[in-house]
Amino acid sequence: MARPIEPAELLLQANQLASRGKTTPPRTVDLRQAVSSAYYALYHCITRQVTLYILPQAQSSERYEFVRHFKHDGILQVCNWILRQNDQTPAQTRECSSTMRTSKELLTIADTFKQLQQQRHQADYDHGAEFTKEEVLGVIQLSTAAIEIIMRLSKVNPITLRCDPTFELFAAHVTLKAQMRPV
């Protein structure tokens, strides 16, 4: 039986790590792992909800297989198009990126994903990076808020049978950036 990766469980883990030791100082290793878990909670929420949008009638085993094709840097690239940061938006996606940019909620998701991915990188690899309990708890809050937005935008309207139109654009472009892993 599959035991899927649950974003809510990752957030719970992040909170437990960051809040450990009410009476003793937090441990660096716990704060770093909390940042990493907060990022992965958001990553897995995005890929899961995008997969549900792309394959609404698939079996869960088919969705767990499909979800592996998403790439961290592919999602980041779409976030860059929305935020107009780093990447020049390709001409073929300019109109769609412009529409995505009109959604404050999508801007929040893109900004949070980008910030968290950079912080995860520092948390996991940069020995010189410093984290405080205050900042890490803030990072977990941001991840939680972004996940709530994704869940809201990706919810299918029972009458129109569609989800938020800007989320549809986001999901389509994240899928475009997905790639089959080499066998």
Partner 1 sequence: MAPEAEFELGAIAIAEALKGRTIGSTTVEDARGLVDIDSEEATAIFLQLFLSEPEGETWPLEDNMALRAAVLDAIAQLELPPVSVYVRLIPLTPEPLDEDGRLFA
Closest separation in Å from C-beta 102 to partner 1:
14
**What contacts 114, CB < 8 A, 6 or more positions away?**
76, 79, 80, 83, 85
* Alpha-carbon separation of residue 17 from 37, 78, 79 (angstroms): 10, 30, 28
Q: Does 80 bind partner 1 (CB under 8 A)?
A: yes
Site for partner 1 in 120-149 (CB under 8 A): 121-122, 127-128, 132-135, 137-138, 141-142, 145
Q: What angle do CA 166, 172, 176 make, to 5 degrees?
A: 145
Query: What is the DSSP secondary structure assignment for residue 182, as one 8-state letter?
Result: P
- Find the part of the chain contacting partner 1 (CB under 8 A) among 60-68, 108-116, 156-164, 166-174: 108-116
Site for partner 1 in 8-27 (CB under 8 A): 19, 21, 24-27
The separation between CA 7 and the C-alpha centre of its own chain, rounded to angstroms, equals 10
**What contacts 70, CB < 8 A, 6 or more positions away?**
46, 47, 50, 51, 174, 175, 178
- Find the part of the chain contacting partner 1 (CB under 8 A) among 3-11, 82-90, 150-158, 172-180: 82-90
Closest separation in Å from C-beta 162 to partner 1:
27
- Find the part of the chain contacting partner 1 (CB under 8 A) among 4-12, 45-53, 85-93, 174-182: 85-93
Between 12 and 55, name the residue whose CB sits nearer to partner 1.
12
Between 48 and 114, name the residue whose CB sits nearer to partner 1.
114
Encoding tokens for residue 86? Answer: 């780093």
Encoding tokens for residue 67? Answer: 């979800």
Query: What is the DSSP secondary structure assignment for residue 69, as one 8-state letter?
Result: G
Binding site for partner 1 (CB under 8 A): 19, 21, 24-29, 31, 73, 76, 80, 83-88, 107-108, 111, 114-115, 117-119, 121-122, 127-128, 132-135, 137-138, 141-142, 145
